[in-house]
Amino acid sequence: MHAIFYRVQILFFCNLAHTTKIMKIIRFKNEISAAIKGFKERGKTIGFVPTMGALHDGHKALVTRCVSENDICIVSIFVNPTQFNNIVDLEKYPRNLERDAEMLEKAGCKLIFAPNPEEIYDSVEMSNQFSFDFNGLDKVMEGKFRPGHFNGVVQIVSKLFSLIQPDKAYFGEKDFQQLAIIHHMVKVLNFKVKIIDCPIVREPSGLALSSRNERLTEAQRKNAVEISKVLIESRNFAPKLSPKELTEWIINKMNTVPDLKVEYYEIVNSKSLQILDSWTEPAVGCIAVFCGEVRLIDNIRYNS
């Protein structure tokens, strides 16, 4: 891991000698704090995109927007151990800092914050004892099936916000529940940051881009395309079937596709995330589905 960091730093140090495009990778908190202090003193606006790396065009869309709307764009690359409730998932999470850095440089980002876990957490924090009042937002869907996941998310995002002090931070609607929780966190913890919701980026087939897609076989990838197809088809039934009936229809249909096994599908209020029994409120359907061993999520809005 360290060898990769050094290689990338050297790579971009060489760029520095030859061009004016400077890509900097910072690994330490004191260095990023010093950089932020300098930006703030010079009155620069800071945009921030937190990621776990293995970047794809979904991340790129967030970064491109961040670059265009701020003086400085900072991207963090940190596979946050405290938000994984499954150690195999954490170990198998794809990592490729060198490729990520190249992609970010092309997108116009000049500063990456890529710390090691030990730089971010002490041993107590690492055991994810972090607690936070989610006002029920963590009791459904991802929160129900990945206990402790959102504690880890709030733990890392609040740490990064405190460190980077962004004016704007960019998050994808692909992680719909995460986005709702981030909005709630910003309010409760009184962060002075504007959260920018960014739409889901999909392959032409409709499959939502995800770092986890890299782990799909070719056959699984074809079957995974059915996830978005079934979700889109379900819109045709939204007013005729109740949310409960539609939920059953989707789960049954999805489970007939080879390789797919639905973990949950819920139709919820897009703000409170509480399960709906009628279509009178803004509704979003959220799914987690295993494609082989790879867990994928997606969502669709029905009436807003």
CB of 196 to ligand AMP, least distance (A): 10
Asked if residue 62 binds ligand AMP (CB under 6 A), the reply is: yes
Q: Which residues contact 67 (CB under 8 A, 6 or more apart)?
A: 47, 73, 107, 108, 109
Contact by Cβ (8 Å): 15, 104: no
Asked if residue 210 binds ligand AMP (CB under 6 A), the reply is: yes
**Interface with ligand AMP (CB under 6 A), residue from 47, 58, 152, 285:** 58
Asked if residue 228 binds ligand AMP (CB under 6 A), the reply is: no
Q: Which is nearer to ligand AMP, 198 or 286 (CB)?
A: 198
Asked if residue 47 binds ligand AMP (CB under 6 A), the reply is: no
How many residues bind to ligand AMP according to rule CB under 6 A?
16
Alpha-carbon distance of 46 to 70, in angstroms, equals 6
Q: Is 104 helix (H, G, I), strand (E, B) or coil?
A: helix
149 assigned to active site = no
CA distances in angstroms from 187 to 156, 174, 302, listed in the order given: 16, 21, 26
Q: Which residues contact 275 (CB under 8 A, 6 or more apart)?
A: 140, 243, 266, 267, 268
Q: Is 25 helix (H, G, I), strand (E, B) or coil?
A: strand
**Interface with ligand AMP (CB under 6 A), residue from 9, 36, 59, 184:** 59
**Interface with ligand AMP (CB under 6 A), residue from 174, 215, 221, 295:** 174
Asked if residue 172 binds ligand AMP (CB under 6 A), the reply is: yes
Of 2, 18, 56, 59, the active-site residue reads 59
Alpha-carbon distance of 228 to 205, in angstroms, equals 9
CB of 278 to ligand AMP, least distance (A): 29
Just list the catalytic residues. 59
Chain contacts with ligand AMP (rule: CB under 6 A): 51-52, 58-59, 62, 171-172, 174-175, 198, 200-201, 208-211
